[in-house]
Amino acid sequence: MKSVKLIFIGIAFLITFSTINASSPDWGATGHRTIGKIAEDYLKNKTKRKIAALLDGQSLALVSTFGDDIKSDKRYNKFYTWHYVNMPFGVNYNDSEKNPNGDLVTGIEKCKSVIKDENATKEDKAFYLKLLVHLIGDLHQPMHIGRKEDKGGNTIQVQWFNKGTNLHRVWDSDMINHFNMTYTELAENADKISKEQIKFIQKGTTVDWANETHKLAIKTYATVEIGDKLGYKYVYENFGLVRSQLQVAGIRLAKVLNDLFA
């Protein structure tokens, strides 16, 4: 009985440890696919044809999780830091300390440069295109432009409907999963906006968008304290921003792709 008890304790410890230290998937699969699906509605026909040729007909929704899928392969460890930017409160990207291994902003620019390179192989262009689709999504998740000391909210432990989680995961996937819509349903039910609003959303550079998301991150941090019990009220007060950021990311992804394949 003693050995069985020790095994049980060990398993419980591992579960707790993994919950605390696991790195959440960026936006979660549903979030990323929603962004890809929304982007497809804003692509020019020429862009659609060129993307279809590079991806052999695969949709943006399908390839949108690629950046997370390759994390399981050690050959792609060098891309890990491309999923986020750590910035102290009140500091913009240009004035922030840069990660020597690259970050979300430099990763996006690298993807764009390979796709535009006439000497790059189709295989390389397809690889960086799939990565770009993913990274544009990450750029609009507030906790991916968060603080270094808490790993973008990963170490801020909270309760989600009485289950342990962290602030980063709440915004990546917990709220989206709780809403219980498929990515197609989320995309189809995105807010109706005017052409003028679309143009306004698509203005700016990758750096501008990073700074904008960082401001949202500051507000997001203020929504919780360590140990808070989150539930229906938190969803009611914050899921609107999640839906908005998914839509903004999709519209901007389309702008980036239309520019690349013009």
- Assess whether pLDDT exceeds 50 at residue 254: yes
Delimit the domains of the chain by residue range. Answer: 27-260
pLDDT at 39: 98
| 25 pLDDT higher than 50 | no
Torsion sign across C-alpha atoms 195, 200, 201, 207? positive
pLDDT in tens, 106-129: 999 999 999 999 999 999 999 999
List, for residues 180-191, the tens digit of each pLDDT value: 999 999 999 999
For 196-217, the pLDDT digits (tens) are: 999 999 999 999 999 999 999 9
Q: What pLDDT, in 10s, does the model give residues 26-59?
A: 578 999 999 999 999 999 999 999 999 999 999 9
Alpha carbon dihedral 233, 234, 239, 245, in 10-degree steps, equals 160
> What fold characterizes domain 27-260?
P1 Nuclease (1.10.575)
User: How far is Cα 182 from Cα 75, in angstroms, rounded to an integer?
Assistant: 32
- Which of left, alpha, beta for 159 (phi over 0: left; psi -120 to 50: alpha)? beta
Separation of alpha carbons 173 and 154, rounded Å: 13
